[in-house]
Amino acid sequence: MKQLPENAIKCLDKGFVRLVDSMGGDDAIVQAARVSYGQGTSKISQDRGLIRYLMRHRHTTPFEMVEFKFHCKMPIFVARQWVRHRTANINEYSLRYSEARDEFYYPDPEHIQFQSAFNKQGRMGEVPADLKQKVQNYFKEISEKSFGIYLELNEAGVARELARAILPVNLYTEWYWKNDLHNLLHFIGLRSDSHAQYEIRVFSDAMADSVKAVAPFAWEAYQDYVVKGMRFSRIEQSLLEKQLPSRVVDDILEDIAYQITATLHYNKHREDSDLYQLYQKQGGSNSEEDFRLKWNSGEIMIGNVRELREFKLKLESLNN
Ligand SMILES: Cc1cc2nc3c(=O)[nH]c(=O)nc-3n(C[C@H](O)[C@H](O)[C@H](O)COP(=O)(O)OP(=O)(O)OC[C@H]3O[C@@H](n4cnc5c(N)ncnc54)[C@H](O)[C@@H]3O)c2cc1C
């Protein structure tokens, strides 16, 4: 195998992802958003809060201000899935212009599995060693044979653009791939998902490392609100409305009143005597005695006031 370029993350047996360049980061998202929301102070915690707000509310354009350019090398069948992500700018190694290189993807034995019985687009189960060996032999045999024919056609002067069609899709190709953060996150959300094919997931996970390093707040917000967040359909919501006991919803609302109070107190210190009133203002309905007991338990979490209020509104709509 050829040496990996500097800073490249190895993917599969001969591929890689290398971040060539990036423009902006969390700061660029905040800067763009403040054009729409007006100037504000820009303390780190506020930047994080703003990015989380934007992600929660699907205000996506500020995320498009951050750009990533990658140099990637992947098998052609992976590139075929990758290229479906239409918002990227791509420049690929040309097999019309240049000769193909003798570099083919050979799957590791551990990734040779049976067709999944549950997922038409997946694999599962342990394949016996002799069948794994057969698969590996076939991959090698067909790759070497087709490459030999390709060379023969080349030497006979047949046009490279035609001769290449003899090569199988496990041949490696290379490209420069540039995209903005919003669309890159969308790509990673789809291609690092467990439903995506293993071979593209490896590349997507490698690109995710760059996103984490370049825009850590955006990455965190994407995980919290998109990857691990949950949306309910109208039908699911109406089931929840009908079936969820209102006392459960009331308990959560109580918890939120405590959390908002604790967060407001954390953000701006209040006198001890004012706390119960503040908690009542947030919709808390416990007696002052119970409030004091819980307040002093040290178990109340703090969060983001705006987010907690949004959660409260959602729950109240379920309770109606
Ligand atoms: C697990 C998995 C299985 C898949 N299986 C298949 C399959 O069997 N067959 C198959 O053909 N594909 C398949 N795909 C590809 C899939 O259908 C999408 O083409 C691919 O994931 C790109 O998604 P996208 O269009 O959202 O992304 P992008 O092309 O990156 O677009 C990003 C967003 O931009 C917007 N956008 C971009 N271009 C347009 C446009 N022209 N018009 C309107 N809006 C646009 C859309 O909102 C889109 O979501 C599969 C993908 C995955 C992840």
Please tell me whether residues 222 and 252 are part of one structural domain. Answer: no
Please tell me whether residues 154 and 180 are part of one structural domain. Answer: no
pLDDT at 157: 97
Compute the mean pLDDT over every residue in the chain, rounded to the nearest whole number. 94
Q: How confident is the model at residue 235 (pLDDT cuts 50, 70, 90)?
A: very high
* Strand-pair partners of 178: 69, 89
pLDDT at 191: 98
Please tell me whether residues 116 and 58 are part of one structural domain. Answer: no
- For residue 186 and ligand 1, the question of a CB distance below 6 A is answered with yes
**Model confidence at 38: pLDDT above 80:** no
Q: What is the mean pLDDT of residues 140-168?
A: 98
Cα of 283 from ligand 1 centre, angstroms:
44
* Strand-pair partners of 123: 115
Start-end of H helices in 87-159: 129-155
Quote the CA–CA distance of 71 and 176 in Å, as a whole number. Answer: 5
Cα of 155 from ligand 1 centre, angstroms:
40
Number of the ligand 1 atom closest to the C-alpha atom of 179: 30
Quote the CA–CA distance of 178 and 123 in Å, as a whole number. Answer: 31
Please tell me whether residues 81 and 151 are part of one structural domain. Answer: no
Please tell me whether residues 209 and 309 are part of one structural domain. Answer: no
Hunting for tokens 């997922």 — which residue is that?
119
Reported as a single tens digit per residue, the pLDDT across 125-136 is 999 999 999 999
> Which residue's alpha carbon is nearest to atom 45 within ligand 1?
86
Q: Domain end: 122, 149, 169, which one? A: 169
> Which residue's alpha carbon is nearest to atom 28 within ligand 1?
85
pLDDT at 271: 96
pLDDT at 40: 53
Please tell me whether residues 279 and 151 are part of one structural domain. Answer: no
Please tell me whether residues 47 and 187 are part of one structural domain. Answer: yes
Cα of 85 from ligand 1 centre, angstroms:
6
Q: How confident is the model at residue 5 (pLDDT cuts 50, 70, 90)?
A: confident
Please tell me whether residues 34 and 75 are part of one structural domain. Answer: yes
Q: b/e string for 192-231 if b means 16 or more Cβ within 10 A?
A: beeebebbbbbbbebbbebbeebbebbbbbbbebbeeeee
Cα of 82 from ligand 1 centre, angstroms:
10
What six digits make up the tokens of 39?
Answer: 């100037």
Q: How confident is the model at residue 11 (pLDDT cuts 50, 70, 90)?
A: very high
Reported as a single tens digit per residue, the pLDDT across 243-293 is 988 899 999 999 999 999 999 999 999 999 999 999 999 999 999 999 999
Number of the ligand 1 atom closest to the C-alpha atom of 86: 29
Choose among 114, 109, 111, 95: nearest CA to 168: 95
Choose among 312, 305, 286: nearest CA to 297: 286
Residues 6+ apart with CB under 8 A from 128: none
∠ Cα 133 139 143 (to 5°): 145
Q: What is the mean pLDDT of residues 158-170?
A: 97
Q: Break the chain down into helix, strand, coil percent, rounded to 5.
A: 55, 10, 30
In the chain, the percentage of residues whose pLDDT exceeds 70 is 96
CATH code of 51's domain:
3.30.1360.170
Number of the ligand 1 atom closest to the C-alpha atom of 87: 30
pLDDT at 13: 97
Please tell me whether residues 224 and 242 are part of one structural domain. Answer: no
Q: Domain end: 117, 147, 169, which one? A: 169
**Model confidence at 42: pLDDT above 60:** no
- Give the containing element (helix H, strand E) for 73: strand 67-75
Torsion sign (Cα): 216, 221, 226, 229: positive
Span of 41-45, 171-175, 245-249 with lowest mean pLDDT: 41-45
What does pTM read for this prediction?
0.91
> Which residue's alpha carbon is nearest to atom 19 within ligand 1?
84
Number of the ligand 1 atom closest to the C-alpha atom of 190: 53
- Which residues are part of the catalytic machinery? 191
Residue 283 belongs to domain spanning: 234-319
User: What is the domain count for the chain?
Assistant: 3
**Model confidence at 39: pLDDT above 60:** no
Please tell me whether residues 57 and 158 are part of one structural domain. Answer: no
Please tell me whether residues 6 and 88 are part of one structural domain. Answer: yes
Please tell me whether residues 201 and 90 are part of one structural domain. Answer: yes
> Which residue's alpha carbon is nearest to atom 6 within ligand 1?
81
pLDDT at 43: 61
Backbone torsions φ then ψ of 279, nearest 5 degrees:
-65, -40
Q: Domain end: 206, 229, 252, which one? A: 229
What does the radius of gyration of the chain's CA atoms come to, in whole angstroms?
Answer: 27
